[in-house]
Amino acid sequence: MKIAVIGSGYVGLVAAACFAEMGHSVICVDNDERKLSALQRGEIPIHELYLPELLERHLGRRLHFSNSIKDAVQACSAVFIAVGTPPLENGEADLSFVEAVAREIALSLNGYKVIVEKSTVPVYTSDWIRRVMKRTCTAGSGFDVVSNPEFLREGTAVTDFLYPDRIVVGADNQRSRELLREIYSPTIDGSYSAQADRIPEPTNSQTKPKLIMTSAKSAELIKHASNAFLAMKISFINAVANVCEQVDADIEEVRKGIGADRRIGSAFLNAGIGYGGSCFPKDVAAFRSVAQQVGCSFPLLDDVIKINSEQRHRFLRKVRETLWTLKGKRLGVLGLAFKGGTDDIRESPAIEIIKLLVSEHCSIRAYDPAAMDRAREVLKESVSYVADCYEAAEGADALLVLTDWEDFSQLDLKRIRGLLKYPNVIDGRNLYSREAMLNAGLTYISVGRSTLKPIASSEHAVDAISVSLE
Ligand SMILES: NC(=O)c1ccc[n+]([C@@H]2O[C@H](COP(=O)([O-])OP(=O)(O)OC[C@H]3O[C@@H](n4cnc5c(N)ncnc54)[C@H](O)[C@@H]3O)[C@@H](O)[C@H]2O)c1
């Protein structure tokens, strides 16, 4: 099938490349000329596993990039809208990009098309798209609007798209429902996963996803409610971690015990400095606005947001408790992205914590495997960017772990111990066992677990304090 995807961001680009991989002919449209020319040269603007392979396979063959919505709409049967829906000041989703694209699509119609809302949007958006398009388009052009929310996670976006748990299609008639079924048929019937040259499926993935057909309104709510639920799990475990700290229990033991219950599950039950990224913060806020607008009290969402924000400040208090004053302290920072596996720093807890530390006149040496260029755009030269974790640790009063990159959990701790000025590791992601840190002679401060200090170095935190006073 011929498919247009409007927006070549984390979702649009991945969707376009994966549709091409599934055998469709795809035109991906963006109005950011710099991004477009990079893509046309085969350069990939985001860090995402397997995306380079897909572009290599399909660019110029089944995958093309364009700046013309009109050309793409006229050449295709289905048009996916995958532009941003950032938060407004009041927490509502800003739908102006979606509206602008819907108008342009309406002006370009040259026959029946299915318009697919892929961006995350509040309930009723498909009705609005339909209304706006009807008002804008010239008489005689038929179209349907379908909601098909996206559940991919950055870092594993390609495999999430090709091997999803479920595909949700919110359509109000059979014709558009069938078209969406046809688009996703290689994943639904398992034929994609049977191909010899497929992108390898992740362990534990189902070979055939559930296809869930709903109304458009239900599909829109499924997406908002799913993200709010996942965010709630993270805030829940963080609140439990705070209780653990008070009673000297171990959150890592507690979360394993909770997650082993299949009714609960262990995913999204990691204690730390809270969720970030371009989705959870804005989607929880947007869902809260939706509930308010329709007159439903949903204070649980207020608490999810409050706990998440407080978690970053708790972490800062730990840094302060370890080092006493912050002014002039040298801190190594591991991680800038909002989570491991991505270069995305939108709403990253790491960036927020660094900004607060910089405002307290700390000197920061930061490392991230993928997000340093993006971080530099925001943090400028207020921090130094270094080549690896060990350089970040060199001469530091403490090493802070702010992103859950897998690489960070495999450091040579004895080497880190030798490089640090004082042996303090403050881990906002609980990447290490306390015993491993203790064996390496490091004082390890983490989330929801009491601090173990090597006997010989129990005064190191204090040493750092006295040096700063000299
Ligand atoms: N990032 C994720 O992990 C994720 C996961 C699921 C759903 N979503 C949702 O998908 C949507 C897109 O998210 P994203 O992270 O890909 O955003 P993004 O900001 O990375 O990409 C959006 C793209 O749309 C382009 N664009 C904006 N207006 C345009 C126009 N008029 N014509 C052509 N292109 C235009 C922008 O230039 C940009 O490249 C959002 O609603 C988001 O909530 C995101």
387-416 pLDDT tens trace: 999 999 999 999 999 999 999 999 999 999
Which H helix or E strand runs over 333? strand 330-334
54-to-19, 49, 319 alpha-carbon distances in Å: 10, 10, 43
Q: Which atom of ligand 1 is nearest to the CA of 154?
A: 3
Q: Which mutation among 5, 27, 28, 30 tests ligand 1's pocket best, with the greatest number of atoms within 8 A of CB?
A: 30
Nearest to 186 by CA among 155, 208, 160: 208
Active site residue 28: no
Determine contact, residues 322/442, Cβ cutoff 8 Å.
Answer: no
Answer yes or no: is pLDDT of 469 > 60: no
Phi, psi of 26 (to 5 degrees): -125, 135
Question: Taking a C-beta distance cutoff of 8 angstroms, is the pair 178, 171 a contact?
Answer: no
Mean pLDDT of the chain: 95
**Cα 83 to middle of ligand 1, angstroms:** 4
| 35 ligand 1 Cβ < 6 A | yes
Grade residue 464 by pLDDT with cuts at 50, 70 and 90.
very low
| Residue 219 Cβ contacting ligand 1 at under 6 Å | no
Q: What is the pLDDT of residue 286?
A: 96
- Are 427 and 446 in contact, with CB atoms under 8 Å apart? yes
User: What percent of the chain is predicted at pLDDT more than 70?
Assistant: 96
pLDDT of residue 452: 78
Nearest-atom number in ligand 1 for the CA of 32 is 37
pLDDT of residue 14: 98
pLDDT computed for residue 466 by the predictor? 36
Cβ of 11 less than 6 Å from ligand 1: yes
- Residue ranges of alpha helices (H) inside 394-458 are 413-419, 434-439
Condensed to tens digits (0 to 9), the pLDDT of residues 218-243 reads 999 999 999 999 999 999 999 999 99
Q: Which atom of ligand 1 is nearest to the CA of 101?
A: 31
> Is the predicted pLDDT of residue 345 greater than 90, yes or no?
yes
φ/ψ of 63, rounded to 5, equals -130, 125
Say whether pLDDT at 206 is over 80.
no
Enter the pTM of the model.
0.94
Regarding beta strands 398-401 and 424-427, do their DSSP bridges make them parallel or antiparallel, or are they unpaired? Answer: parallel
What is the Å distance from ligand 1's center to 229 Cα?
Answer: 22
The pair of structure tokens assigned to 98 is 């979606």
> Mean per-residue pLDDT for 450-457?
75
Is the pLDDT confidence value at 6 over 90?
yes
CA distance 10 to 18: 12
Contact between residue 219 and residue 201 where contact means Cβ atoms under 8 Å apart: no
240 contact partners, CB below 8 Å, separation of at least 6: 251, 254, 255, 258, 271, 448
227 near 178, Cβ under 8 Å?
Answer: no
- Please report the atom of ligand 1 found closest to the CA of residue 344: 1
| Radius of gyration of the chain, Cα coordinates, nearest whole angstrom | 24
- Whether 9 is in the pocket of ligand 1, judged by its Cβ within 6 Å, is yes
User: Per the residue annotation, which of 18, 28, 76, 279 is the catalytic one?
Assistant: 279
Q: What is the pLDDT of residue 456?
A: 61
3-state secondary structure of 77: coil
Helices of type H across 248-348? 251-259, 280-293, 299-323
State whether the beta carbon of 343 lies less than 6 angstroms from ligand 1: no
173: left (phi over 0), alpha (psi -120 to 50) or beta: beta
Q: How far apart are CA 1 and CA 183, in angstroms?
A: 7
SS3 272: coil
Mutate to test the pocket of ligand 1, among 11, 152, 158 (most ligand atoms within 8 A of CB): 11
Nearest to 343 by CA among 50, 49, 54, 85: 49
Residues 39-48 pLDDT 10s:
999 999 999 9
Decide: helix, strand or coil at residue 293: helix
Q: Is the CB of 85 under 6 A from ligand 1?
A: yes
